Amino acid sequence: MSLYFFRISEGKYSGAAEHPFECESRESAWAEMTAVCSNLVGAVARSLKPDGEWQMELLDEARNPVFRIRLVGESVG
């Protein structure tokens, strides 16, 4: 089992988690990350500004990024 932490870049839940969680594999850690992200993304999208960005990272025990999910608002015109 490996330990992982979440880190969020912007908004109400920004910062790195103090308490790690355990997962059997990188794949199960990814599944946990996507489940947590899916619970947050609706509120995040509603508060995202044009040209704004929100991201969630999954960090390993050494707090190095393993995975990142980004939501970007771009103005194109």
Q: Which tokens go with 15?
A: 């910062």
Which carries the bigger pLDDT value, residue 17 or residue 24? 24
Q: Where are the domains of the chain?
A: 2-72
pLDDT mean across residues, the chain: 91
Angstrom distance (rounded) from CA 75 to CA 6:
28
Q: How far is residue 70 from each of residues 11, 19, 34, 54, measured CA to CA in Å? A: 13, 22, 11, 6
Instruction: Name which of 7, 9, 4, 8 is nearest 29 in CA terms.
Output: 4
Which carries the bigger pLDDT value, residue 14 or residue 1? 1
Q: Does position 69 have pLDDT exceeding 90, yes or no?
A: yes
Which carries the bigger pLDDT value, residue 1 or residue 67? 67
